[in-house]
Amino acid sequence: MRRALASAAFLLCLAAVPAARGLNPGASGTGPASGGDGLQGAIHRAAAAAVPAIVQVEVVELVQGYRKAGLGSGVIFRLEDGSAYVVTNNHVLGQADQIRVRLSAGQDYPATLQGRDPRRDLAVIRFQAPGPLAALDFGDSGQVRPGDWVLAVGSPLGLDSSVTLGVVSAVGRRGGPGGNISDFIQTDAVINPGNSGGALLNLAGKVIGINTWIASDSGSYEGYGFALPSGSVQRSVRDILEASRARYGWLGVGGIDPPATLKQELYLPAAKGALLANLYLDGPAAQAGLELGDYLTQVAGLRIENTPGLIQAVADTPPGTSALVRFSRAGLPMSLPVLLGERPEEQQLAGRNHLLWPGLVAVGGPEGRGVEVVLVFRGTPAERAGLRVGDLVIAVDGEGLAGLPGFFAVLNRLEADCRLDVRRGEEQLAVELGRGESQR
């Protein structure tokens, strides 16, 4: 089970946490010196530089008439005109109507929201405080390798300024709560609820990631922590500071990861990629000439390994970029320049689903005849036509279908509404599949 690091169950228990802070009365003078050379010295220097720039983020949300307290961590990354800017996780803030930050020295200050990036689970808040503050620089997450030493710094279980040591276990991990689009850094540094929004540091004291979630059956540390890489964080932060929101490139497609049998049917190469199963009729890809059944292998120089990789490659390419898209069509390598648009907000995108063509995912039917519907998207031509999961589409406008390749070929030729011959159990149906604006 995957869990975000600031879980509701934990947040309700924070009132008991401060007692734990008194268990360690402080340094006794018998420990190792904080300077020195080698690994120990590097750890001490990185930790000493990081702790003053890591804050505890305390929030209060109004949920169904009740006020709920929450807690996470944050990283001061910018100091400007008396203000400190903090990056944290979006899930730490939730729908908070009160936000405060607590420094490692104990002072706390009210903070205001600057902007959010829900797709990467990031947010930026700002506070003002008298006197000097510390900030951390971002490192290059593109240089991170498995085996690198790292430090995780934050407020696990409300224990502020906690530092743990580990290594990078892997890079490029997918997944996370809420379908986060990033490729995470995996670490075995101890991370627990409350670490959300805290820093993952290299031994040079640079922020290479923002700790975000753990994979756990218990809800606590089991050896698998995940941090958003600093490259993704910096892109989001830049957009939020400039426009109070994140901006993403948009190709206007829906991809699937085809099994080996389907790749053979479509004459797809052995190379990894993503198969276009749906297109927004007014989207950048359709306008540039991409078609259903195209197998994308590269976007703007970024190799595509699967559908999540396609989503991230497009998201990481700024809107307005003329991106060269490499793909295979009927076994032939091809390429097209596509002018990427800006991805609409989620609600706006859902409002355009009448243009998502055809609005379903299908697989080859039994004995190579027709296609079987396995998924229907809301508000699309397929849903409005009344298609259901399990329907077997055997013909389009009277033309029989030889599996999924034939289905894609017929749909790509259409310029108007069409009739589908559908078998639903023992029933034989004829349904009208509307195309685009006619289905508004």
Q: Last residue of a domain, which of 219, 246, 273? A: 246
Which tokens is 252 given?
Answer: 């206007």
Structural domain contains residue 126: yes
Residues 335 and 362 in one domain: no
Alpha-carbon Rg of the chain, whole angstroms? 25
What is the per-residue pLDDT for 109? Answer: 97
Q: Cα separation of 361 and 356, whole Å?
A: 12
Residue 102 domain-assigned? yes
Q: Which of 343, 367, 391 is the last residue of a domain?
A: 343
Domain boundary (246, 275, 299) is at 246
Rounded to the nearest 5°, which phi and psi values hold at 161? 60, 30
Nearest to 226 by CA among 120, 298, 132, 115: 120
The answer to whether residue 29 is domain-embedded is no
Which of 141, 162, 182, 196 is flagged as catalytic? 196
State the pLDDT at residue 16.
Answer: 26
Assess if residue 23 is contained within a domain. no
Q: Is 44 assigned a catalytic role?
A: no
Residue of 117, 121, 294, 421 marked catalytic: 121
Does 95 lie in the same domain as 111?
A: yes
Q: Is residue 113 part of a domain?
A: yes
Check whether residue 214 and residue 290 sit in a common domain: no
Residues 6+ apart with CB under 8 A from 64: none
| CATH code of 77's domain | 2.40.10.120
Annotated catalytic, 117?
Answer: no
The CATH number of whichever domain residue 356 belongs to comes to 2.30.42.10
Annotated active-site residue 232? The verdict is no
- Domain extent at residue 154: 1-17+35-246
- Sign of the C-alpha dihedral computed for residues 409, 410, 411 and 414 taken in this order: positive
pTM of the model: 0.84
Whether residue 73 is found in the same domain as residue 173: yes
**Segments of 203-354 assigned E as strands:** 207-215, 225-229, 249-250, 253-256, 274-280, 295-299, 302-303, 322-329, 332-339, 341-342
- Average pLDDT, consecutive stretches of 10 residues, N- to C-terminus, the chain (440 residues): 41 29 33 62 96 97 88 97 96 94 95 95 96 95 97 95 97 80 93 96 97 90 94 96 93 92 78 94 97 96 93 93 95 96 91 95 88 95 96 94 90 92 94 72
| Domain identity same for 332 and 400 | no
d(CA 26, CA 3): 32
Q: For residue 310, which amino acid is it?
A: L
Same structural domain for residues 79 and 159?
yes
Query: Residues 70, 91: contact at Cβ < 8 Å?
Result: no
Q: How many domains does the chain have?
A: 3
Instruction: Kindly report the backbone phi and psi dihedral angles of residue 53, in degrees, each rounded to the nearest multiple of 5, phi listed first.
Output: -100, 0
Q: Give pLDDT, residue 266.
A: 78
* Domain assignment present for 27: no
User: Contact 338/251 with Cβ under 8 angstroms?
Assistant: yes
Q: Does residue 217 fall inside a structural domain?
A: yes
- Give the total residue count for the chain: 440
Residues 164 and 232 placed together within one structural domain of the fold:
yes
| Pair 123, 202 in one domain | yes
Measure the CA–CA gap between 26 and 85, rounded to whole angstroms.
29
Kindly state whether residue 26 falls inside one of the protein's structural domains.
no
